[in-house]
Structures are given as C-alpha cells and as structure tokens.
Amino acid sequence: MRENDPKFVFIAGTPRSGGSVTLASLDGHLDILAWPFEFFYFQFFREVAGDRETVLITELNQALLERLFKQYLAKMLGHGADLYHEDGPKSAQNCNFNVGDFDYQLFVQRLRATEDKPVNTLDYLAYLFECLKYAHGQYQGKTVKCHMVLTTARGFDWSDENLLGSSLILFSYREAKDSYASLREKYLKSMDFKAFVSLRQKKSSLYWLETYKRISGQVGARANADNFFVVPLQELQKDPEAVLAEICSFLKIEPHPNMSSLTILGSPYQGNAREGNLNQGKIAKHTSKLRAPLTSFEERMFASLNLFNFFEPEKPDNPPFGFFEMVKRVFSSAMSEIPDDKVTIRKNIAPIYIAFGRVMIFFKLCAIHLTSRSKRLAQRVIRKANRHILSMPLWESRTRVQVGH
C-alpha cells in the first residue's frame, strides 16, 4: 500500500458485541468508506485461492457475486426500512441491490473491468473498495481516509503479521458469556437445547466455547498495541457520542454529525437487535433480554476458560473445573434449570419424553466438559461438524493461541 492510500480498518470483535452498529454508525462518515455487510473476507479469499498466494480477479469476482454479495447484503438489508427494491430506477436490467446512492450495476461493471489480473489478499480487498467507491455516488470524486470492514474476530486473519502491522483494529467487546448467551438465544429459536449442546451439531455449544478461547488468545496478546482499539458494547450503549468520538480520534479523523444515525451505504438502517422495539435506527441503550438464562454449568465452563478480560487483565485464574463439581452442575442444569419448552421444540409432548430429553442433555453436557479438556480432541470433534472452519485463519494450527491470562 502507498503512504497516502486509505487505511484498512477491521471491526474484529466477539459475536453480538456491537460490531454491526459500530459499522452502521461510521458508515455515513465522509472520511470512511464502509463495506456494507459482515464479511469474513480472509476466509472467503482462502476458499477461492486454496494454497495459491495470488488468484485471478475473475475467480474472486465470480465467488463474490454468486455466493456472497447477494446473500449477505440482502440479509443486512432485511433489518432495514424499505431499503431493498427489486429494480432500481438508475440501472439496467437485473439490478437487485441499489441502495441510496449505491448503484449495483456500476459496481459489477467496475468489478469486471480488470478480471485477468492476479491479485493477493490485500490487493483484491483494495480493488473491492475501489469498485465500491466508484459505484457510490456520495464518494465519487472524493478522498477517503479509511476502508472499513466488519470481519469479526472469527473472520480476521490473526496469523498475518504484515496485516496486523499495517491496519487498524476496532475490537467490539462484550463479556464472552453474555455474547454466548445472546448467540444461544438466537439458535434456540430454531432448535432445542439438546441439539445445541450436541457434539455433532454445527455451531454447537462446544464450537462457541472453543471459539472464545481462540479469540481470547489473539486479543490478549495484542491488547496494548497502538493500532488496537477496544469498543466495549456497554459503554457504546451508555454514551454513543463519546465512544464514537474516541474511535474517530483513534482513526485520526474528526467526528461527523452523520454518526448519530445508523446507515448502510448512506441509507437508514434500523439495527439487528432481537427485540424489534430496539431497532430504531439508533444505538440501543441496552441489549435484548434473554428468555433462557445460562445454566450454572455454562457459567462455570466460561469461568474455567480464564478468558482475557480487558477491564480486569490481572484477574486471578479460576480453580479447575473438576469432575465431581462438573457432575453436580450438569445434573442441576439438565434436570431443573432448563425450561421444558427448551428441552425439546416439539409441542404437547408427554412428560416422560421431557424427562428422557433431560437425561440426554445430562450426558451431552458431560461430553462437552470432557472433550473441551483436550485441545486436540475438541478441534477434531468440531471440525467434523463445522467444515467451514477449515478455511478460517482463526482455526489454523499455526495460529498462536494464549489462554489463561
């Protein structure tokens, strides 16, 4: 990258920790060009490139347009307010994603203008932003200082030291167990508890526990770096103006009035809180309420991980989660703490089946505890059910993980 090129800014935090509203708050800032949806860019590039360091733009373009852009932009706009329309008035046929001053056909036209050129990871990312800027009327002919992408910590490449040294990282932060509880609440809308804690389930409880351990190892090693800025969700909700001003200071830009409202591609965006009344186009003052609080087993599992805590970095380690304590907590959690309607999603089921479901949950929670005690076994079990992690840098064996801070 040249000295005057826009700086890459990656929002790379824990799940359900305010990354989307941080992106939407900064989207309207005229010094920032923001990618319009959550993008596991480095995983995407590796899936296309395989072992190659460079790939033809045409290969990457095809994968972007067919597998990612339409799917994730549509998902993002699903939380908006009448932003998405089938055939925008400014463009030719087959235009599905005109939003505000963004012209999807112009984006595709510019994207395909240089398809035979081989590019590496950051070359193609810079090219994507060049195309986005070309198709976004608000930025045409203007200079931007930052190219911002919401990758989340799972989608960022923590193993690339050159990337880490040349970019800025906004780490959206929420205490891990609260982040996990919010994720679990979403999954329990479509599956029961015994499915969520199954070792064979994709993105199961074990998957998330191991994910938080890996994220902790990466951020704990870099928390004091000059290019690393923590954005605590609780503080962002309490005083958005002050936190956003601090972010701007970190990015070396001035605050802008547009940050008071959430936008995507410059157009109003309501938000993605689970409680609909919190999606008002502003940063909500609190998170969505949980209908299924964490069990004592889950609480103790998180305590035993000794994850890095930005507010208490010198916090002493919790005692090991031993076998007999585990059995006691698992029994309490499975037999009394989980509501009947979370044990199984089937309706009007006989009490005997509820009891059987609780017994199954008991053994599944025991299996989570025993599996998580071996890093190698946990990774092997998770890989079987989560093939998508094979191309995620966070899950590479060479990626440094330091837990127990």
pLDDT tens for each residue of 88-112: 333 333 445 777 788 888 998 999 9
**Which sign does the torsion angle of CA 134, 24, 235, 171 carry?**
negative
| Lowest-confidence pick of 34-38, 295-299, 315-319 | 315-319
Residue type, 271: G
Please report the pLDDT score of residue 2 as a whole number: 60
Averaged pLDDT of the chain: 87
Please report the pLDDT score of residue 3 as a whole number: 61
pLDDT(399) > 50: no
SS3 content of the chain, % helix, strand, coil (to 5): 50, 10, 40
For residue 33, what are its two tokens? 């060009």
Answer for the pair 370, 23: CB distance below 8 angstroms, yes or no: no
Please report the pLDDT score of residue 352 as a whole number: 93
Strands 55-56 and 118-119: antiparallel
Please report the pLDDT score of residue 70 as a whole number: 65
Give the residue with greater pLDDT, 230 vs 404.
230
Please report the pLDDT score of residue 329 as a whole number: 97
- DSSP class of 75: H
Strands 263-264 and 267-268: antiparallel
Please report the pLDDT score of residue 181 as a whole number: 96
Q: How confident is the model at residue 312 (pLDDT cuts 50, 70, 90)?
A: confident
| Lowest-confidence pick of 65-74, 269-278, 373-382 | 65-74
Q: What pLDDT digit, counting tens, does each position of 45-97 carry?
A: 999 999 999 999 999 999 998 777 666 666 655 544 344 333 333 333 344 57
Specify the fold of 7-175+222-278.
Rossmann fold (3.40.50)
pLDDT(293) > 50: yes
Mean pLDDT of 366-375: 94
Distance between CA atoms of residues 330 and 327, nearest Å? 5
Mean pLDDT of 264-283: 83
Q: Where in the chain are the domains?
A: 7-175+222-278, 179-216+289-395
Helical packing angle, 296-305 and 205-220, nearest 10°: 30
Mean pLDDT of 166-177: 95
pTM value is 0.90
What percent of the chain is predicted at pLDDT more than 70? 89
